[in-house]
Amino acid sequence: MLRSVTSPQLYLVLLIGCVTVLVSIAAIRATHRLGLPALLVFLGAGMALGEDGLGIAFGDFGLAQVIGTFALALILIEGGLSTRWKAISGQLAPASLLATFGVFITVAVVAAGAHYLLGFAWQAALVFGAVVASTDAAAVFSELRNVGLPRRLSGTLEAESGFNDAPAVILVLAFSSAAGIPSAGDLVVTLVWELAAGAAIGLVIGFGGAWLLRRLALPVSGLYPLAVFSLGMAAFAASGALHASGFIAAYLAALVLGNSRLPHRAATQSFATGLGWMAQLGMFVMLGMLASPATLLDAVVPALILGAVLTLVARPLSVVLCLLPFRFSIREQALIAWAGLRGAVPIVLATIPHSERLPGAQALWEIVFILVLAFTLLQGPTLPWMAKRLRLSQPGLVQEVDIETAPLDAVDAEVLTITIPRRSGLAGLRLFELRLPEGSAVASVVRANRLFVPAHGERLRSGDQLIVVTYPDLREATERRLTALARAGRLARWLGETGED
């Protein structure tokens, strides 16, 4: 019976897929040491599997668009869950301007370059400008968190990359229409509706889902990550069904859920990171299989020309104009301009003209592919160097303490697990100096794989894992106290640090 529903080809495909994943994971370690972006590994793996490599034929741009769109939604959900609200809350205004007006400025400048420098028809030029206008969330999230930028810069860039996919998608779909370039009025109405409706749906599902999960004690901890991701995808799907922006809905729903102090938050974050990496790997490998090195050579020169227009003219101009109302220094603006990383998003968006049968769609996709490959290789590895040269990197930033919550149903209590990171204010404190709210207590400490009940005067160390038992109504106060101590040490209260986001 098993033989009738399977075949050697199926097992071979599964084997090739698993080997590709394992080889790519192993290669990521090597490229990380060299400072190279992971997407280069995944794209290379896809090209090695394609027709010019192992000979696996794949040329379905429509299927690639569908798979890529869902993969991008997963990546945005992971990005929303891992973004701390306190990191971006003060930067929503500049990030929103970069994600909207910045996208429009980029589209206009790149389209003008494509039309006047390379002779693109205006419709194709506008499509190309919209395709490459947004920064890539996966690339920005993965690169920035290893640079050590001040919160103002990292928050602006992370929020921008989470928000700007939605306007770019709307513009690509509008400009790729067989009916031609839409009027400015129609375009504005479409943008306002899709962004506003998508944001509203994402916020409603995010807050509603958080309210439900805080009151629903699931029997298995592994169900919480599934529930959170399902809520994020529900926001994406509901927005799509109502012709609103699914990307903005998915990101905002995940942002709300990730900052709602839900049970098993660390487990959810680990699950999200793994799923986000899997989405990136599968998407880039698939996009690499679409590419044929033999036909990409003709796209090198136009890709380098338009990439230079994008990186050296359009991006800096959009940053300067959008940040005029805010007090960003020239050095900060320069870094934000250089950190406008492109990744999978433009390559996926470049499949849309194929589906719409736009003339020259294949050449456009090949130019986008080379542009992303070349300029990611240029910008990604040089970003830490640029931050250091501009004196904006802060490698010694104190790491935030990560607190995990699990329900303890037998006594209507909860267990918090806190791992003390390096340079944390908690390290060096004695147990009695924690002064947790009455009703919360450190039940035990894990140190060097040894569990013990700490004495009143026990001094805490970096790497210790504290196990704290508290009541649900004291959880937030306990977390705030621990966060304050992690930031400012034993003088947190005297220094005015409360642990609030």
The tens-digit pLDDT sequence of the chain (501 residues) is 444 445 666 777 677 777 777 776 776 666 666 555 666 777 777 777 776 667 677 777 778 888 888 888 888 888 888 777 877 777 888 989 998 999 999 999 999 999 999 989 999 999 999 999 988 766 666 666 666 677 788 888 888 888 888 888 889 888 887 777 778 888 888 888 989 999 999 999 999 998 888 777 676 667 888 888 899 999 999 998 998 888 899 989 999 998 887 777 777 777 887 887 788 777 778 877 777 777 788 889 999 999 999 999 999 999 999 999 888 889 999 989 988 878 778 888 888 888 778 888 888 888 988 898 888 888 877 887 888 888 887 655 555 566 666 666 555 678 888 889 878 889 999 999 999 998 899 999 999 889 999 998 899 998 899 999 988 888 888 988 898 888 888 888 887 788 776
The confidence score (pLDDT) of residue 487 equals 86
As separate numbers, helices (DSSP H) first and strands (DSSP E) second, the chain gives: 22, 5
| Of 41, 38, 63, 68, residue with least CA distance to 346 | 68
List helix spans (H) across 259-314. 265-290, 293-296, 300-309
Please provide residue 470's backbone torsions phi and psi, each rounded to the nearest 5 degrees: -150, 170
What is the rounded CA–CA span in Å between residue 496 and residue 208? 33
Burial class of 452 by CB neighbour count within 10 A (0 to 12, 13 to 18, 19+): exposed
The confidence score (pLDDT) of residue 2 equals 43
| Of 16, 28, 44, 51, residue with least CA distance to 285 | 44
CA–CA–CA angle 402, 404, 405 (5° rounding): 150
Neighbouring CB atoms inside 10 A of 170's CB total 22
| Of 126, 169, 178, residue with least CA distance to 357 | 178
**Torsion sign (Cα): 117, 107, 92, 77:** negative
Please provide residue 126's backbone torsions phi and psi, each rounded to the nearest 5 degrees: -65, -40
The confidence score (pLDDT) of residue 238 equals 93
Q: Give the list of residues 6+ apart from residue 118 with CB closer than 8 angstroms, or none.
A: 302, 305, 306
Domain boundaries, the chain: 11-389, 402-491
Answer yes or no: are the C-beta atoms of 335 and 160 closer than 8 Å: no
The confidence score (pLDDT) of residue 405 equals 62
Answer yes or no: are the C-beta atoms of 44 and 293 closer than 8 Å: no
The confidence score (pLDDT) of residue 305 equals 94
Please provide residue 446's backbone torsions phi and psi, each rounded to the nearest 5 degrees: -105, 120
| Of 228, 219, 237, residue with least CA distance to 73 | 237
CA within 13 Å, CB half, 83: 35
CA–CA–CA angle 93, 96, 97 (5° rounding): 90
What is the rounded CA–CA span in Å between residue 265 and residue 469? 16
The confidence score (pLDDT) of residue 393 equals 72
CATH number 3.30.420.40 given to 402-491: no
CA–CA–CA angle 236, 146, 203 (5° rounding): 25
Rama region for 342: left / alpha / beta (φ>0; ψ in -120 to 50; rest): beta
Q: Is the pTM of this model over 0.75?
A: no
Helix axes 61-82, 223-241, angle to 10 degrees: 120
What is the rounded CA–CA span in Å between residue 407 and residue 414? 4
The confidence score (pLDDT) of residue 114 equals 94
Q: What CATH number does the domain located at 11-389 have?
A: 1.20.1530.20
